[in-house]
Amino acid sequence: MNAPTSDTTERSERAGRPAATPRGPAPARRRRPADLRTWGAFALLTAPMLIGLGIFKYVAIGWSFLLSLSNAHGTIALGQWVGLDNYRQLLSDDTFRSSLGKILLFTVFIVPVTFVVSLGLALLVNRVRRGRAVVRTAFLIPTAVSYVAASLVWKMCLFNGLPAGIANMVGGWFGMDSVPWLQTTDPPLYWIVLVTLRLWLQVGFYMVLFLAGLQAIPKEIDEAAALDGATGFRKLMRITLPMLRNTSVAVLMLQFIAAFQAFDEFYNLFSSGLSGTATAPVQTPLVYLYNTSMGSQNYGLGSAGAFVLTALIVAVTLIQGRLTGFGKGEE
């Protein structure tokens, strides 16, 4: 696929910057056509991955797409074609539509908050001189905790509805009455529980991304800014943030994709043994999908939902990428 003569750089020149000729084969093999052994090696090294992705991505998506056009109650067999009925049913279902509204609200909340907090933590940790490792560990270690365990602590301890719950106890010091945090829908106090939980679990991860971005800012730029008298907030807006542009775009995208697929904490905070998630004040699209495909075993409708959500996520990611120019300047 690479023209053998395209690479005319001197070897010694190339040696210093291996990344400059990314797609070029190593020099010694330049004139060798792909022989059987080359093919064999390539096949052996890539086959497990290609077959795995083929089955679990391509076959799965293709099959599921056909299912989304069939009546598939309690079966994953194809045959009862119903055209776009599943999509029609899905989009006219109030539960699904409200789940889309709720997840948009959640995303609009959690993405900027996580962004600002993780950036703030990174700036803070970057300035810490003594004990930086300890502080970084403290912020990062919640990343090791699962949503299930965090939901448990948030539901049963921090935001326990009893007066012994931490939030209620702290509120009590200020003369507030105890409230059932997860059940109160007016005002929707459960958002506080959801947002703080995800913040605690995630900001450490994004902080590390920002820290890596901060450390990649050349020292000279920092020094030049200091010479020009740029400090504090001005330096942050004029120098630091523009230099963190790529990191910021990546963080925003990762956050959006993660928020839109929220499931774990919604399931574990609101589900109860008797009624499942039926009494939950808020369902995410994934909770809805889980209930339709695993609860009612309607795989046709579940597949249709998977496609609608995938399309939404891909569309938003592409628009976001276009708006922010992500990927520009890459190979």
Partner 1 sequence: MTTLFKRLRPGARGLLVGVLTVLFLTPFYLMLRNALMDTKGLTSPEWTWWPAQMHWENFTALFSDPTLHMGQALGNSLLIAGITAPLSTLLASAAGYAFARIPVPGRGALLALVIATLMIPGSVTFVPTFVVVGSMGGVNTLWGVIVPGLFNPFAVLLFRNFYLQFPAEIEEAGRLDGLGWLGLYRRIALPSSGAMLASLGALAFIDSWNAFLWPLVIGQDPSSWTAQIALSTFLTSQTINLPGLFAGAVVTIAPLVAMFLIAQRYIVEGIATTGLKG
Which residues neighbour 215 within 8 Å (Cβ) at sequence distance 6 or greater? 126
Q: Does 124 bind partner 1 (CB under 8 A)?
A: yes
100, 92 contact by CB (below 8 A) = no
Q: Which of 193, 133, 132 is nearest to 167 (CA)?
A: 193
Nearest CB to partner 1, comparing residues 28 and 187:
28
210, 247 contact by CB (below 8 A) = yes
Compute the half-sphere exposure of residue 212: CA atoms within 13 Å on the CB side of its CA: 10
Exactly one of 84, 105, 108, 141 binds partner 1 (CB under 8 A); which one? Answer: 141
Nearest CB to partner 1, comparing residues 11 and 219:
11
Q: Which of 191, 192, 190, 199 is nearest to 142 (CA)?
A: 199
Work out how close the CB of 76 gets to partner 1 at its nearest, in angstroms, rounded to a whole number: 5
Q: Does 263 bind partner 1 (CB under 8 A)?
A: yes
Q: Does 288 bind partner 1 (CB under 8 A)?
A: no
Please state, in angstroms and rounded to a whole number, the distance separating the CA atoms of residues 14 and 10.
6
**DSSP label at residue 142:** G
Exactly one of 122, 181, 194, 213 binds partner 1 (CB under 8 A); which one? Answer: 213
Q: Which residues of 101-134 are buried (b: 16+ CB within 10 A; e: fewer)?
A: ebbeebbeebbebbbebbbebbbebbeeeeeeee
Exactly one of 273, 323, 328, 329 binds partner 1 (CB under 8 A); which one? Answer: 273
Nearest CB to partner 1, comparing residues 186 and 309:
309
Work out how close the CB of 123 gets to partner 1 at its nearest, in angstroms, rounded to a whole number: 10
Exactly one of 6, 105, 310, 319 binds partner 1 (CB under 8 A); which one? Answer: 310
Candidate segments 93-101, 135-143, 185-193, 218-226, binder of partner 1 by CB under 8 A: 135-143
Query: 18 is written with which tokens?
Result: 């291996």
Candidate segments 98-106, 185-193, 220-228, 294-302, binder of partner 1 by CB under 8 A: 294-302
Q: Does 315 bind partner 1 (CB under 8 A)?
A: no
Q: Does 146 bind partner 1 (CB under 8 A)?
A: yes
Please state, in angstroms and rounded to a whole number, the distance separating the CA atoms of residues 288 and 283.
6
Q: How far is CA 325 from CA 28, 209, 245, 314, in A?
A: 38, 19, 10, 16
Work out how close the CB of 227 gets to partner 1 at its nearest, in angstroms, rounded to a whole number: 17
Work out how close the CB of 94 gets to partner 1 at its nearest, in angstroms, rounded to a whole number: 21
SS3 annotation, 212-232: HHHHCCCHHHHHHHHHCCCCH
Work out how close the CB of 45 gets to partner 1 at its nearest, in angstroms, rounded to a whole number: 4
Q: Does 106 bind partner 1 (CB under 8 A)?
A: no
Nearest CB to partner 1, comparing residues 11 and 187:
11
Nearest CB to partner 1, comparing residues 236 and 254:
254
Work out how close the CB of 217 gets to partner 1 at its nearest, in angstroms, rounded to a whole number: 13
Residues 37-96 that bind partner 1 (CB under 8 A): 37-39, 41-42, 44-46, 48-50, 52-53, 55-61, 63-64, 67, 76
Q: Does 3 bind partner 1 (CB under 8 A)?
A: no
202, 258 contact by CB (below 8 A) = yes
Residues 162-181 that bind partner 1 (CB under 8 A): 162-164, 166, 169
What percent of the chain is helix, strand and coil (3-state, nearest 5)?
Answer: 70, 0, 30
